[in-house]
Amino acid sequence: MKSKKIIVIVLILSALMAISFSGCAKTDKSTTGSTTQNTTQIPNPMVEKASTAEIKDALDFTFDSLPTDISNIKYFTIDDTIAQADFTSNGVAYTVRKAAATVDNIAGVYTEFSGSQTIANSTGIDVSYKYNDGAEGLALWTSGAFIYSVFCETGFDSTAMQNLVDAVS
């Protein structure tokens, strides 16, 4: 008799637990047909653009120049404050960003780098380079009212990165 009571209590507790978990299920309140569902979506801050002219229309500034030997280029605006160009140069994928000099962490890169150095670019502006040899590389600099970054996730080469930096404005 005692074992039947224990089984009944376990079943009741299991049922109550199942009911309580069903209250935690994700729902979507958008109406589709005869069902109603709840969803909460965070808007994507990146908006793809067709050209630098579209970036200028959205942000009131754009890239004045980008390297000429690039392919697979895509343009974006981020959070209505940052211009971004993604492209490939000599088989390495790069992300270039430009924003008002007041923007913090324009690159959005949180990698720990093993090396760093500051080298003046072709116009004499100091550029901070951070890198992991043969892997990630990041260049950061400010020119006038704007801040810039160039990042590659793989294939960092100091000379190639410096040439890209010299071509970006």
Q: Are residues 24 and 103 in the same domain?
A: no
Instruction: Name the band, by pLDDT with cuts 50, 70 and 90, for residue 62.
Output: very high
pLDDT in tens, 27-40: 444 455 555 566 77
Higher model confidence: residue 134 or residue 157?
A: 157
Q: Which residues, in sequence order, are CB contacts of 167 under 8 Å at separation 6+? A: 65, 66, 67, 68
Provide the β-strand partners of residue 139: 129, 150
Tell me how many domains the chain contains. 2
pLDDT at 133: 85
User: Could you tell me if 27 and 50 lie in one domain?
Assistant: no
| Two structure tokens written together for 45 | 């801050």
- Is the domain of 24 the same as that of 84? no
64 in the same domain as 13: no
Q: Domain check: are 32 and 90 in the same one?
A: no
Same domain, 68 and 145: yes
pLDDT, one tens digit per residue, over 63-113 is 999 999 999 999 999 999 999 999 999 999 999 999 999 998 899 999 999
CB–CB of 122/166 below 8 Å?
yes
Give the predicted TM-score (pTM) of the model: 0.74
